Amino acid sequence: MHRRTFLIGSLGLTATTFARPASATTTRARAVRVRTLDELRTAITAAKPGADIVLANGTYDVPGEQTIAVNGKHGTSDAPITVRAESVGGVTLTGNHGFVFANSSYVVIDGFKLRQQTTFEVPTTCQHVRISRNDIQLGDIEGLHWVMVTGDATVVERNHFHGKSKLGVFLGVEGPGSDGMARGVHIVRNYFSDHTYAGDNGGEPIRLGLSGRSLSDAGAMVEENLFERCNGDPEAISVKSTGNTIRHNTIRDSLGGIVLRHGNRSRVDANFLLAGSNGIRIYGNDHLIVNNYAEQIAGAGIVLGSGSVRDHKPEDSPESRRGNDAPDRVTIALNTVLSCGTAISGESQRPLPPLGCSITDNLLVGDTGTQLVSMPYLDGITFAGNLCWGAAADGTIPTGGSTRKDPKLAAGSDGVRRLTSGSPAINAAKKTYPTVTRDLDDHPRTGKADVGADEYDKAAPSNRPLQPADVGPGSRTAMHA
Protein backbone atom coordinates (compact mmCIF):
# COMPACT_ATOMS: atom_id res chain seq x y z
CA MET A 1 0.00 0.00 0.00
CA HIS A 2 1.23 3.52 -0.67
CA ARG A 3 1.73 5.81 2.28
CA ARG A 4 -0.84 8.37 3.40
CA THR A 5 -0.35 11.22 5.87
CA PHE A 6 -2.41 10.80 9.03
CA LEU A 7 -3.19 13.09 11.95
CA ILE A 8 -1.39 10.87 14.44
CA GLY A 9 2.37 10.48 14.17
CA SER A 10 4.88 8.16 15.78
CA LEU A 11 5.88 8.64 19.39
CA GLY A 12 9.61 9.09 19.76
CA LEU A 13 10.05 7.36 23.09
CA THR A 14 12.22 4.44 24.16
CA ALA A 15 10.59 1.07 24.80
CA THR A 16 11.47 -0.94 27.87
CA THR A 17 12.50 -4.58 27.94
CA PHE A 18 9.91 -6.97 26.54
CA ALA A 19 8.02 -9.15 29.00
CA ARG A 20 4.97 -11.38 28.81
CA PRO A 21 1.44 -9.95 29.16
CA ALA A 22 -0.20 -9.89 32.55
CA SER A 23 -1.86 -13.07 33.74
CA ALA A 24 -5.63 -13.36 33.44
CA THR A 25 -5.62 -14.56 37.07
CA THR A 26 -5.38 -11.42 39.16
CA THR A 27 -5.52 -10.27 42.77
CA ARG A 28 -7.88 -7.39 43.51
CA ALA A 29 -8.45 -5.26 46.56
CA ARG A 30 -11.96 -4.42 47.64
CA ALA A 31 -13.64 -2.34 44.93
CA VAL A 32 -13.53 1.43 45.21
CA ARG A 33 -16.81 2.74 43.76
CA VAL A 34 -16.92 6.22 42.26
CA ARG A 35 -19.74 8.29 40.75
CA THR A 36 -18.06 11.34 39.19
CA LEU A 37 -15.04 12.01 37.01
CA ASP A 38 -13.38 13.88 39.86
CA GLU A 39 -13.85 10.87 42.15
CA LEU A 40 -12.48 8.64 39.38
CA ARG A 41 -9.36 10.79 38.99
CA THR A 42 -8.81 10.84 42.77
CA ALA A 43 -9.14 7.04 42.97
CA ILE A 44 -6.67 6.53 40.10
CA THR A 45 -4.16 8.88 41.73
CA ALA A 46 -4.37 6.90 44.99
CA ALA A 47 -4.38 3.45 43.38
CA LYS A 48 -1.89 0.79 44.51
CA PRO A 49 -1.28 -2.67 43.03
CA GLY A 50 -4.50 -4.67 43.05
CA ALA A 51 -6.77 -1.62 43.14
CA ASP A 52 -10.22 -2.19 41.63
CA ILE A 53 -11.86 1.11 40.66
CA VAL A 54 -15.50 0.89 39.52
CA LEU A 55 -17.27 3.81 37.82
CA ALA A 56 -21.04 3.83 38.23
CA ASN A 57 -23.06 3.28 35.07
CA GLY A 58 -23.98 6.39 33.15
CA THR A 59 -22.71 8.83 30.53
CA TYR A 60 -19.81 11.09 31.46
CA ASP A 61 -18.59 13.97 29.31
CA VAL A 62 -14.91 14.83 29.73
CA PRO A 63 -15.03 18.63 29.24
CA GLY A 64 -12.75 20.73 27.06
CA GLU A 65 -9.12 19.66 27.16
CA GLN A 66 -9.48 17.74 30.42
CA THR A 67 -8.45 14.08 30.53
CA ILE A 68 -8.64 11.01 32.74
CA ALA A 69 -4.93 10.71 33.49
CA VAL A 70 -3.21 7.41 34.29
CA ASN A 71 0.30 8.63 35.08
CA GLY A 72 2.97 6.85 37.10
CA LYS A 73 0.65 4.00 38.12
CA HIS A 74 2.17 0.54 38.48
CA GLY A 75 0.36 -2.66 39.30
CA THR A 76 1.96 -6.09 39.11
CA SER A 77 1.31 -9.17 36.99
CA ASP A 78 -0.73 -10.74 39.80
CA ALA A 79 -2.21 -7.48 41.10
CA PRO A 80 -2.90 -5.05 38.26
CA ILE A 81 -4.67 -1.76 38.77
CA THR A 82 -8.12 -2.14 37.21
CA VAL A 83 -10.39 0.72 36.14
CA ARG A 84 -13.74 -0.63 34.99
CA ALA A 85 -17.34 0.17 34.27
CA GLU A 86 -19.95 -0.97 36.78
CA SER A 87 -21.26 -3.28 34.08
CA VAL A 88 -19.75 -4.04 30.68
CA GLY A 89 -20.99 -1.34 28.31
CA GLY A 90 -22.74 0.50 31.14
CA VAL A 91 -20.45 3.56 31.12
CA THR A 92 -20.13 5.88 28.13
CA LEU A 93 -17.25 8.36 28.03
CA THR A 94 -17.65 11.31 25.66
CA GLY A 95 -15.65 14.46 25.06
CA ASN A 96 -12.43 15.43 23.31
CA HIS A 97 -10.18 13.18 25.40
CA GLY A 98 -10.56 10.11 27.58
CA PHE A 99 -7.94 7.98 29.35
CA VAL A 100 -4.43 9.37 28.81
CA PHE A 101 -1.56 7.07 29.77
CA ALA A 102 2.04 7.85 30.77
CA ASN A 103 4.76 6.00 32.70
CA SER A 104 2.49 3.18 33.85
CA SER A 105 2.37 -0.62 33.84
CA TYR A 106 -0.04 -3.44 34.62
CA VAL A 107 -3.15 -1.28 34.29
CA VAL A 108 -6.48 -2.57 32.93
CA ILE A 109 -9.21 -0.45 31.27
CA ASP A 110 -12.34 -2.61 31.20
CA GLY A 111 -15.89 -2.42 29.95
CA PHE A 112 -16.38 1.17 28.71
CA LYS A 113 -18.08 2.65 25.69
CA LEU A 114 -15.35 4.94 24.38
CA ARG A 115 -16.62 7.85 22.29
CA GLN A 116 -13.81 10.43 22.49
CA GLN A 117 -12.72 12.63 19.58
CA THR A 118 -8.97 11.97 19.79
CA THR A 119 -6.80 8.86 19.55
CA PHE A 120 -6.59 6.51 22.54
CA GLU A 121 -2.85 5.91 22.93
CA VAL A 122 -0.71 3.45 24.88
CA PRO A 123 2.71 5.15 24.66
CA THR A 124 6.18 3.65 24.82
CA THR A 125 6.51 4.72 28.47
CA CYS A 126 3.87 2.13 29.37
CA GLN A 127 4.08 -1.66 29.47
CA HIS A 128 1.57 -4.43 30.19
CA VAL A 129 -1.49 -2.24 29.68
CA ARG A 130 -4.66 -4.22 28.99
CA ILE A 131 -7.52 -2.71 26.98
CA SER A 132 -10.39 -5.10 27.59
CA ARG A 133 -14.09 -5.49 26.74
CA ASN A 134 -14.63 -1.95 25.48
CA ASP A 135 -17.00 -0.74 22.77
CA ILE A 136 -14.81 1.56 20.69
CA GLN A 137 -16.37 4.06 18.31
CA LEU A 138 -14.34 7.25 18.46
CA GLY A 139 -14.83 10.41 16.42
CA ASP A 140 -15.35 9.65 12.73
CA ILE A 141 -12.78 12.25 11.72
CA GLU A 142 -10.72 12.16 8.53
CA GLY A 143 -7.28 10.70 9.26
CA LEU A 144 -7.95 9.86 12.92
CA HIS A 145 -6.54 6.55 14.13
CA TRP A 146 -8.73 5.23 16.93
CA VAL A 147 -6.26 3.23 19.05
CA MET A 148 -2.47 3.51 18.73
CA VAL A 149 -0.17 1.20 20.69
CA THR A 150 3.56 1.85 21.05
CA GLY A 151 4.06 0.28 24.51
CA ASP A 152 5.51 -3.19 24.99
CA ALA A 153 3.34 -6.14 26.01
CA THR A 154 0.06 -4.31 25.51
CA VAL A 155 -2.98 -6.58 25.40
CA VAL A 156 -5.98 -5.54 23.31
CA GLU A 157 -8.69 -8.08 23.98
CA ARG A 158 -12.43 -8.60 23.52
CA ASN A 159 -13.18 -5.11 22.25
CA HIS A 160 -15.59 -4.12 19.49
CA PHE A 161 -14.24 -1.62 16.96
CA HIS A 162 -17.00 -0.49 14.61
CA GLY A 163 -18.70 2.21 12.59
CA LYS A 164 -15.84 4.08 10.89
CA SER A 165 -16.35 5.75 7.49
CA LYS A 166 -13.31 8.01 7.23
CA LEU A 167 -9.58 7.56 6.56
CA GLY A 168 -7.72 6.07 9.54
CA VAL A 169 -7.15 2.70 11.17
CA PHE A 170 -9.11 1.04 13.94
CA LEU A 171 -5.93 -0.22 15.67
CA GLY A 172 -2.31 0.61 14.91
CA VAL A 173 0.86 -0.74 16.49
CA GLU A 174 4.13 1.17 16.19
CA GLY A 175 7.06 1.74 18.54
CA PRO A 176 9.94 3.96 19.61
CA GLY A 177 11.68 6.38 17.29
CA SER A 178 11.25 6.22 13.54
CA ASP A 179 11.99 2.51 13.09
CA GLY A 180 11.19 0.61 16.33
CA MET A 181 8.21 -1.57 17.20
CA ALA A 182 6.43 -2.33 20.46
CA ARG A 183 7.36 -5.85 21.52
CA GLY A 184 5.00 -8.65 22.46
CA VAL A 185 1.66 -6.97 21.71
CA HIS A 186 -1.27 -9.40 21.96
CA ILE A 187 -4.44 -8.68 19.95
CA VAL A 188 -7.03 -11.31 20.77
CA ARG A 189 -10.76 -11.98 20.42
CA ASN A 190 -11.71 -8.53 19.19
CA TYR A 191 -14.57 -7.82 16.81
CA PHE A 192 -13.79 -5.45 13.92
CA SER A 193 -16.82 -4.51 11.87
CA ASP A 194 -18.31 -1.96 9.51
CA HIS A 195 -15.49 0.18 8.19
CA THR A 196 -16.94 1.85 5.09
CA TYR A 197 -14.13 4.22 4.01
CA ALA A 198 -14.21 4.14 0.21
CA GLY A 199 -10.58 5.07 -0.48
CA ASP A 200 -8.04 2.60 -1.85
CA ASN A 201 -5.70 2.76 1.16
CA GLY A 202 -5.64 3.81 4.79
CA GLY A 203 -8.63 2.15 6.42
CA GLU A 204 -7.04 -0.99 7.87
CA PRO A 205 -8.68 -2.63 10.91
CA ILE A 206 -5.20 -3.65 12.16
CA ARG A 207 -1.95 -2.10 10.95
CA LEU A 208 1.00 -3.82 12.57
CA GLY A 209 3.90 -1.48 11.86
CA LEU A 210 4.92 0.85 9.02
CA SER A 211 7.30 0.49 6.10
CA GLY A 212 10.08 2.28 8.02
CA ARG A 213 9.61 -0.09 10.96
CA SER A 214 9.49 -3.26 8.86
CA LEU A 215 12.84 -4.70 10.00
CA SER A 216 12.00 -4.28 13.68
CA ASP A 217 11.07 -7.55 15.41
CA ALA A 218 7.65 -7.02 16.97
CA GLY A 219 6.83 -10.57 18.09
CA ALA A 220 3.11 -9.71 18.07
CA MET A 221 0.34 -12.29 18.35
CA VAL A 222 -2.88 -11.54 16.45
CA GLU A 223 -5.33 -14.36 17.12
CA GLU A 224 -9.01 -15.24 17.35
CA ASN A 225 -10.25 -11.93 16.00
CA LEU A 226 -13.34 -11.58 13.80
CA PHE A 227 -13.55 -9.14 10.88
CA GLU A 228 -16.88 -8.51 9.15
CA ARG A 229 -17.76 -5.89 6.54
CA CYS A 230 -14.29 -4.37 6.83
CA ASN A 231 -14.18 -2.46 3.55
CA GLY A 232 -11.85 0.45 4.32
CA ASP A 233 -8.72 -1.13 2.80
CA PRO A 234 -7.68 -4.27 0.87
CA GLU A 235 -5.61 -5.17 3.95
CA ALA A 236 -7.68 -6.17 6.99
CA ILE A 237 -4.54 -7.29 8.83
CA SER A 238 -1.66 -5.28 7.43
CA VAL A 239 1.71 -6.56 8.66
CA LYS A 240 4.60 -4.09 8.27
CA SER A 241 7.04 -5.50 10.83
CA THR A 242 8.96 -8.71 11.53
CA GLY A 243 8.45 -11.89 13.52
CA ASN A 244 4.68 -11.91 14.04
CA THR A 245 2.06 -14.66 14.31
CA ILE A 246 -1.37 -14.29 12.69
CA ARG A 247 -3.55 -17.26 13.59
CA HIS A 248 -7.12 -18.47 14.16
CA ASN A 249 -8.70 -15.28 12.83
CA THR A 250 -11.86 -15.13 10.70
CA ILE A 251 -12.33 -12.56 7.93
CA ARG A 252 -15.81 -12.67 6.42
CA ASP A 253 -17.66 -10.60 3.82
CA SER A 254 -14.87 -7.99 3.67
CA LEU A 255 -12.70 -6.19 1.15
CA GLY A 256 -9.66 -6.75 3.35
CA GLY A 257 -7.43 -9.82 3.57
CA ILE A 258 -4.22 -10.75 5.39
CA VAL A 259 -1.21 -9.00 3.86
CA LEU A 260 2.45 -9.41 4.81
CA ARG A 261 3.26 -6.07 3.22
CA HIS A 262 6.67 -5.44 4.81
CA GLY A 263 8.99 -7.40 7.10
CA ASN A 264 10.20 -10.95 7.47
CA ARG A 265 9.69 -14.21 9.40
CA SER A 266 5.96 -14.04 10.11
CA ARG A 267 3.65 -17.02 10.41
CA VAL A 268 0.08 -17.01 9.03
CA ASP A 269 -1.58 -20.12 10.44
CA ALA A 270 -5.11 -21.57 10.48
CA ASN A 271 -7.11 -18.50 9.51
CA PHE A 272 -10.51 -18.52 7.79
CA LEU A 273 -11.05 -16.14 4.86
CA LEU A 274 -14.65 -16.39 3.70
CA ALA A 275 -16.78 -14.74 1.00
CA GLY A 276 -14.58 -11.67 0.61
CA SER A 277 -12.51 -9.84 -2.00
CA ASN A 278 -8.91 -10.55 -0.95
CA GLY A 279 -7.15 -13.53 0.56
CA ILE A 280 -3.52 -13.74 1.75
CA ARG A 281 -0.81 -11.66 0.01
CA ILE A 282 2.89 -12.01 0.73
CA TYR A 283 6.08 -9.96 0.39
CA GLY A 284 9.35 -10.29 2.30
CA ASN A 285 11.37 -13.27 3.42
CA ASP A 286 11.14 -16.49 5.41
CA HIS A 287 7.39 -16.51 6.05
CA LEU A 288 5.33 -19.62 6.76
CA ILE A 289 1.79 -19.68 5.31
CA VAL A 290 0.14 -22.84 6.59
CA ASN A 291 -3.22 -24.44 7.48
CA ASN A 292 -5.30 -21.53 6.13
CA TYR A 293 -8.78 -21.96 4.65
CA ALA A 294 -9.96 -19.58 1.92
CA GLU A 295 -13.36 -20.01 0.28
CA GLN A 296 -15.28 -17.84 -2.19
CA ILE A 297 -12.68 -15.10 -2.39
CA ALA A 298 -13.40 -12.99 -5.47
CA GLY A 299 -9.70 -12.51 -6.20
CA ALA A 300 -6.94 -14.99 -5.39
CA GLY A 301 -6.98 -17.09 -2.25
CA ILE A 302 -3.21 -16.65 -1.91
CA VAL A 303 -0.93 -14.20 -3.77
CA LEU A 304 2.86 -14.63 -3.77
CA GLY A 305 3.96 -11.13 -4.71
CA SER A 306 6.75 -9.68 -6.82
CA GLY A 307 9.24 -7.03 -5.79
CA SER A 308 10.68 -3.66 -6.68
CA VAL A 309 13.63 -4.46 -4.35
CA ARG A 310 15.26 -7.77 -3.45
CA ASP A 311 15.76 -7.14 0.27
CA HIS A 312 15.35 -4.25 2.66
CA LYS A 313 18.48 -3.73 4.77
CA PRO A 314 19.07 -2.17 8.19
CA GLU A 315 21.20 0.58 6.66
CA ASP A 316 18.33 1.63 4.38
CA SER A 317 16.50 4.78 5.41
CA PRO A 318 12.97 4.25 6.71
CA GLU A 319 11.65 6.14 3.68
CA SER A 320 13.49 3.85 1.25
CA ARG A 321 11.77 0.76 2.67
CA ARG A 322 8.45 1.63 1.08
CA GLY A 323 9.10 -0.55 -1.98
CA ASN A 324 7.81 -4.12 -2.25
CA ASP A 325 10.39 -6.67 -1.09
CA ALA A 326 10.35 -9.67 -3.41
CA PRO A 327 9.52 -12.86 -1.47
CA ASP A 328 12.44 -15.14 -0.63
CA ARG A 329 12.23 -18.54 1.07
CA VAL A 330 8.47 -18.36 1.67
CA THR A 331 6.68 -21.64 2.39
CA ILE A 332 3.04 -21.93 1.29
CA ALA A 333 1.91 -25.35 2.48
CA LEU A 334 -1.05 -27.36 3.75
CA ASN A 335 -3.63 -24.71 2.84
CA THR A 336 -7.15 -25.32 1.49
CA VAL A 337 -8.36 -22.91 -1.20
CA LEU A 338 -11.87 -23.45 -2.57
CA SER A 339 -14.06 -21.67 -5.11
CA CYS A 340 -11.93 -18.54 -5.41
CA GLY A 341 -11.28 -16.44 -8.49
CA THR A 342 -7.83 -18.06 -8.55
CA ALA A 343 -6.46 -20.37 -5.89
CA ILE A 344 -2.82 -19.20 -5.94
CA SER A 345 -1.53 -16.32 -8.03
CA GLY A 346 1.61 -14.33 -8.59
CA GLU A 347 2.29 -10.79 -9.77
CA SER A 348 4.04 -9.47 -12.86
CA GLN A 349 3.83 -5.71 -12.34
CA ARG A 350 7.23 -5.57 -10.60
CA PRO A 351 10.54 -6.85 -12.02
CA LEU A 352 11.86 -9.04 -9.18
CA PRO A 353 10.40 -12.56 -8.86
CA PRO A 354 10.14 -14.80 -5.79
CA LEU A 355 13.26 -16.84 -5.04
CA GLY A 356 13.66 -20.06 -3.05
CA CYS A 357 9.91 -20.31 -2.34
CA SER A 358 7.80 -23.47 -2.14
CA ILE A 359 4.13 -24.19 -2.83
CA THR A 360 3.52 -27.67 -1.50
CA ASP A 361 0.77 -30.00 -0.29
CA ASN A 362 -2.06 -27.52 -0.76
CA LEU A 363 -5.64 -28.56 -1.60
CA LEU A 364 -6.97 -26.44 -4.47
CA VAL A 365 -10.51 -26.74 -5.82
CA GLY A 366 -12.06 -24.52 -8.49
CA ASP A 367 -15.76 -24.70 -9.26
CA THR A 368 -15.62 -22.64 -12.44
CA GLY A 369 -13.54 -22.73 -15.59
CA THR A 370 -10.75 -20.45 -14.35
CA GLN A 371 -7.26 -21.77 -13.62
CA LEU A 372 -6.22 -22.77 -10.12
CA VAL A 373 -2.64 -21.47 -10.26
CA SER A 374 -1.46 -18.42 -12.21
CA MET A 375 2.23 -17.72 -11.59
CA PRO A 376 4.10 -15.50 -14.06
CA TYR A 377 7.45 -16.39 -12.44
CA LEU A 378 8.18 -20.08 -11.92
CA ASP A 379 11.97 -20.43 -11.72
CA GLY A 380 12.15 -19.39 -8.06
CA ILE A 381 9.32 -21.65 -6.85
CA THR A 382 9.22 -25.36 -6.02
CA PHE A 383 5.86 -27.14 -6.44
CA ALA A 384 5.12 -30.57 -4.95
CA GLY A 385 2.23 -32.58 -3.58
CA ASN A 386 -0.59 -30.18 -4.41
CA LEU A 387 -4.00 -31.78 -4.95
CA CYS A 388 -6.20 -30.13 -7.58
CA TRP A 389 -9.85 -30.68 -8.46
CA GLY A 390 -12.87 -29.10 -10.09
CA ALA A 391 -13.77 -27.42 -13.35
CA ALA A 392 -10.81 -25.04 -13.17
CA ALA A 393 -7.64 -26.06 -15.00
CA ASP A 394 -4.46 -26.64 -13.01
CA GLY A 395 -2.89 -23.58 -14.62
CA THR A 396 0.84 -22.96 -14.43
CA ILE A 397 1.76 -25.70 -11.94
CA PRO A 398 4.76 -27.49 -13.49
CA THR A 399 4.47 -31.15 -14.39
CA GLY A 400 4.89 -33.25 -11.26
CA GLY A 401 3.87 -30.44 -8.91
CA SER A 402 0.32 -31.69 -8.42
CA THR A 403 -2.13 -34.52 -8.93
CA ARG A 404 -5.78 -34.29 -9.94
CA LYS A 405 -8.13 -36.33 -7.76
CA ASP A 406 -11.47 -35.78 -6.07
CA PRO A 407 -10.56 -34.85 -2.46
CA LYS A 408 -13.95 -36.09 -1.18
CA LEU A 409 -14.85 -33.07 0.89
CA ALA A 410 -18.00 -32.62 2.97
CA ALA A 411 -19.28 -29.50 4.69
CA GLY A 412 -19.60 -29.59 8.47
CA SER A 413 -22.19 -27.78 10.57
CA ASP A 414 -19.96 -24.69 10.45
CA GLY A 415 -19.93 -24.72 6.63
CA VAL A 416 -16.26 -25.68 6.38
CA ARG A 417 -15.51 -28.38 3.79
CA ARG A 418 -13.25 -31.01 5.33
CA LEU A 419 -11.82 -34.36 4.32
CA THR A 420 -13.94 -37.48 4.56
CA SER A 421 -12.87 -41.08 4.98
CA GLY A 422 -11.12 -42.38 1.90
CA SER A 423 -9.95 -38.97 0.67
CA PRO A 424 -6.77 -39.20 -1.44
CA ALA A 425 -5.46 -36.24 0.58
CA ILE A 426 -5.02 -38.39 3.69
CA ASN A 427 -1.34 -39.15 4.43
CA ALA A 428 -0.44 -37.82 0.98
CA ALA A 429 1.90 -34.89 1.76
CA LYS A 430 5.17 -34.95 -0.15
CA LYS A 431 7.06 -32.80 2.32
CA THR A 432 7.54 -32.79 6.08
CA TYR A 433 6.86 -29.80 8.31
CA PRO A 434 8.46 -30.19 11.75
CA THR A 435 7.10 -26.90 13.07
CA VAL A 436 3.52 -27.58 11.93
CA THR A 437 2.17 -29.81 14.67
CA ARG A 438 -1.56 -28.89 14.45
CA ASP A 439 -4.05 -28.32 11.65
CA LEU A 440 -6.82 -25.85 10.84
CA ASP A 441 -9.14 -27.40 13.42
CA ASP A 442 -6.38 -27.39 16.07
CA HIS A 443 -6.16 -31.16 15.78
CA PRO A 444 -2.69 -32.73 15.94
CA ARG A 445 -0.80 -33.43 12.72
CA THR A 446 0.46 -36.98 13.21
CA GLY A 447 2.68 -39.09 10.98
CA LYS A 448 2.63 -38.14 7.34
CA ALA A 449 0.55 -34.99 6.94
CA ASP A 450 -2.71 -34.85 5.05
CA VAL A 451 -2.79 -32.47 2.09
CA GLY A 452 -4.60 -29.21 2.77
CA ALA A 453 -5.54 -27.41 5.94
CA ASP A 454 -7.50 -30.28 7.49
CA GLU A 455 -5.89 -33.33 9.06
CA TYR A 456 -8.62 -35.98 8.89
CA ASP A 457 -9.97 -36.51 12.40
CA LYS A 458 -13.42 -37.54 13.65
CA ALA A 459 -13.10 -35.31 16.73
CA ALA A 460 -14.99 -32.02 16.77
CA PRO A 461 -12.89 -29.02 15.70
CA SER A 462 -11.80 -26.63 18.42
CA ASN A 463 -10.90 -23.94 15.89
CA ARG A 464 -13.81 -22.92 13.69
CA PRO A 465 -15.03 -19.79 11.89
CA LEU A 466 -15.79 -17.19 14.51
CA GLN A 467 -19.19 -15.59 15.04
CA PRO A 468 -19.92 -12.25 16.79
CA ALA A 469 -20.88 -14.05 20.02
CA ASP A 470 -17.38 -15.56 20.21
CA VAL A 471 -15.58 -12.22 20.36
CA GLY A 472 -15.93 -8.70 21.69
CA PRO A 473 -17.12 -7.38 25.06
CA GLY A 474 -19.83 -9.99 25.60
CA SER A 475 -17.68 -13.06 24.96
CA ARG A 476 -16.94 -15.22 27.97
CA THR A 477 -15.00 -18.42 27.33
CA ALA A 478 -11.72 -18.86 25.51
CA MET A 479 -11.74 -20.59 22.14
CA HIS A 480 -8.61 -22.55 23.02
CA ALA A 481 -7.04 -23.71 26.26
Put residue 254 in one of left, alpha, beta given phi > 0 → left and psi -120 to 50 → alpha: beta
Mean pLDDT, the chain, integer = 92
- Averaged over 406-424, what is the pLDDT? 97
pLDDT tens, position by position, 351-386 = 999 999 999 999 999 988 789 999 999 999 999 999
Distances (CA, A) of 128 to 12, 151, 185: 19, 8, 9
pLDDT tens, position by position, 302-325 = 999 998 888 877 767 666 677 888
- Averaged over 69-90, what is the pLDDT? 98
pLDDT tens, position by position, 262-299 = 999 999 999 999 999 999 999 999 999 999 999 999 99
pLDDT tens, position by position, 322-338 = 788 899 999 999 999 99
pLDDT for position 169: 97
Buried b (16+ CB within 10 A) or exposed e, 99-137: bbbeebbbbbbbbbbbbbebbbbbbbbbbbbbbbbbbbb
pLDDT tens, position by position, 433-470 = 999 999 999 999 989 999 999 999 999 999 999 999 99
pLDDT for position 415: 97
pLDDT for position 14: 30
pLDDT for position 309: 83
Q: How far apart are CA 479 and CA 271, in angstroms?
A: 14
Sketch out the chain's domains with CATH numbers.
Answer: 158-470 (2.160.20.10)
Query: 35 exposed, middle or buried (CB, 10 Å; 0-12, 13-18, 19+)?
Result: middle
- Model confidence at 481: pLDDT above 70: no
- Put simply, whether the predicted model's pTM sits higher than 0.85 gets the answer yes
- Averaged over 25-46, what is the pLDDT? 90
pLDDT for position 257: 98
- Model confidence at 20: pLDDT above 60: no
pLDDT tens, position by position, 83-132 = 999 999 999 999 999 999 999 999 999 999 999 999 999 999 999 999 99
pLDDT for position 478: 55
Supply the DSSP string of 366-404, one letter for each residue: ESSSSEEEE-S--TTEEEESEEEEESSEEESPPTTSEEE
Percent of the chain with pLDDT over 70: 92
Lowest-pLDDT range, 53-57, 212-216, 308-312?
A: 308-312
